[in-house]
Structure 1
Amino acid sequence: MKNLIFTIVLISICSLTYAQEQEPTEPETFQMEWEGEKVTMQKYFIVFLKKGPNRDQPEEERQQIQEKHLAYLGKLFKEGVLNINGPTGDNGEISGISVYSTATLEEAVELAEGDPAVQAGRLVVEAHSWWVAKGSSVK
């Protein structure tokens, strides 16, 4: 009987440990009150698309990369993992900003690095977590 109880406890501990080690599948959230209203805060991931080391492609190739870049980001937007995206307008180091709604930073980086402009070396990715009220919009 003691062996049975020990085995059950051991299996339970192993199951809990395994469950804790699995990657989350949904974005992290928490509830808070702001100005008397309940708000759901969500962890999003903000990606800065910076100028990459390979920006000297011929014009025709640059245009093809740009078309693929926009198509890729449009697909992610339609899938609901890219919430907001756009270029900067100051010709600085950061060429664009994207906000991803993924469960992990690693997932956002993987998606951002799948961008044809990143793969071509025209852009590089810098990503950070960012807590925002869920469903926020730019006004």
Structure 2
Amino acid sequence: MGRIITLLALTSLLLVGCNKKRFAHDDMDVDAALLDEPFPNEVTVAQQKDQLLKDGFEIFDYVDEATGDTIIMQKYFMAFLKKGPNRDQPKAEADSLQALHMAHLGRMYELGYADLSGPFDDESDISGITVYNVPTLKIADSLANMDPMVKAGRLVIEIHPWWAGKGYPLR
């Protein structure tokens, strides 16, 4: 019975929420107050800045002259995965380490600690990168050194702080 009441309440909220006009169109009357209201899950710039600072991130912001938007710059940590001194494992062991390495990187992404990872496509000593979205170098270093490839000595880590606009997608 409780589940049915909860389902009915959620359905009612959904229907009421869908009736709100959120966009201005030429053929619609839109209440001006709704245009100033953030979407239910939208976070204001001030709220985002407060949360980032509360979580220990280093940030600064500026206003984009072209758009008037406030851009939040956040310090990330770019880990360069470089070829390590111990690369003579048998193929089966190297393959197993690679699978564990990929699982580690996937877990870092799933947990929100890493935003971007990938290999380089050349023969340099730098095999790939991971961009860590954590508040400190110490945390990024600790997470990067948990990688099974690093523990086995096939890779070594070199980390650099890196500033990027919060929320910008790759293109």
Over aligned residues, Cα RMSD in angstroms? Answer: 1.2
| Superposition misfits of 4+ residues, deviation over 4 angstroms | none
Give the drift of 1:37. Answer: 2.2
Q: TM-score, normalised by structure 2?
A: 0.65
Q: TM-score, normalised by structure 1?
A: 0.80
Deviation per CA, 1:45-100: give whole Å up to 9, x if none: 00000000000100000000000000011001000010000000002110011100
Whichever residue aligns with residue 59 of structure 2, its letter is T
In the alignment, which residue of structure 2 is the partner of 1:108? 140
In the alignment, which residue of structure 2 is the partner of 1:30? 60
Task: Choose which of 47, 63, 75 in structure 2 pairs with 1:43.
Answer: 75
Gaps in structure 1 of 5+ consecutive residues: 1-23
Gaps in structure 2 of 5+ consecutive residues: 1-53
- Contact 1:72–1:115 (8 Å) recurs in 2: yes
In the alignment, which residue of structure 1 is the partner of 2:39? none
- 2:167 maps to 1:138: no
Counterpart CA distance in 1 for 2:157 and 2:128 is 10
Aligned identity (percent) is: 47
User: Which structure carries more relative contact order (alpha carbon 8 Å, separation 6+)?
Assistant: 1
Q: Hey, which of these two has a bigger chunk of strand by percent?
A: 1
- Contact 1:112–1:125 (8 Å) recurs in 2: yes
For 1:1-139, what aligned pairs fall within 5 Å after superposition?
Answer: 25-34=55-64, 35=66, 36-139=68-171
Whichever residue aligns with residue 38 of structure 1, its letter is T
